[in-house]
Amino acid sequence: MSVDFDAIDRRIVNELQGGFPVCARPYAEAAAKLDLDEADLIARIGKLVADGRLSRFAPMFNAERLGGAVCLCAMAVPEADFDAVAKQVNAHGEVAHNYAREHALNMWFVLASEKPERIDETAAEIEAETGLEVFLMPKLEEYFIGLKVEV
């Protein structure tokens, strides 16, 4: 996997993090603002995702406002099993993202579901599949930090 971004890919990633047009042809409108062709923008985004430089290109929804739920989760995963367990965890459609941390609880992920009860159900499925406890850390209060990662 290459982590290099050419100037155009860098501009795409940096500019589209702050919003994406909501209209009949959003890629055409976004491409025009970037001085690109619509097909080129679509191809470049597809390649960024396919080669792993972007983990996903999709909207972020407020699951709770839509009747669903989100929950931060953590697990203590033996280092030798980390990749295999990550694959099992990530196989669940409810897993929004997953990352390693240097801590006794070394795997952290977010569950996002259409129905609140799917949080506990998915955590139980992951525990049954991995044999490891999933620690649920439900949100008590929400803060908007406006995270934007410049590349």
The domain spanning residue 85 has which CATH number?
3.30.70.3460
- Is 75 within a domain? yes
- Is 131 within a domain? yes
Contact at 8 Å (CB) between 97 and 81? no
Determine the Cα–Cα distance for residues 78 and 105; give it in Å rounded to an integer. Answer: 10
pLDDT of residue 3: 67
pLDDT of residue 2: 45
For 80-124, the pLDDT digits (tens) are: 999 999 999 999 999 988 899 999 999 999 999 999 999 999 999
- Is 99 within a domain? yes
For 24-66, the pLDDT digits (tens) are: 999 999 999 999 999 999 999 999 989 988 877 887 777 888 8
Query: Which two tokens mark 99?
Result: 């990352």
Phi, psi of 120 (to 5 degrees): -65, -40
Contact at 8 Å (CB) between 18 and 51? no
For 113-150, the pLDDT digits (tens) are: 999 999 999 999 999 999 999 999 998 888 777 667 77
Contact at 8 Å (CB) between 116 and 127? no
pLDDT of residue 4: 83
In terms of Cα–Cα distance, which of 23, 118, 109, 134 is closest to 66?
118
Residue type, 139: K
pLDDT of residue 65: 82
pLDDT of residue 1: 43
- Residues 41, 75, single domain; the answer is no
In terms of Cα–Cα distance, which of 95, 107, 110, 98 is closest to 132?
107
Q: Name the residue range of residue 28's domain.
A: 7-50
Average pLDDT over every residue of 8-32: 93
- Is 56 within a domain? no
| Distances 5 to 11, 14, 127 between C-alpha atoms, Å | 9, 11, 38
The reported pTM is 0.68
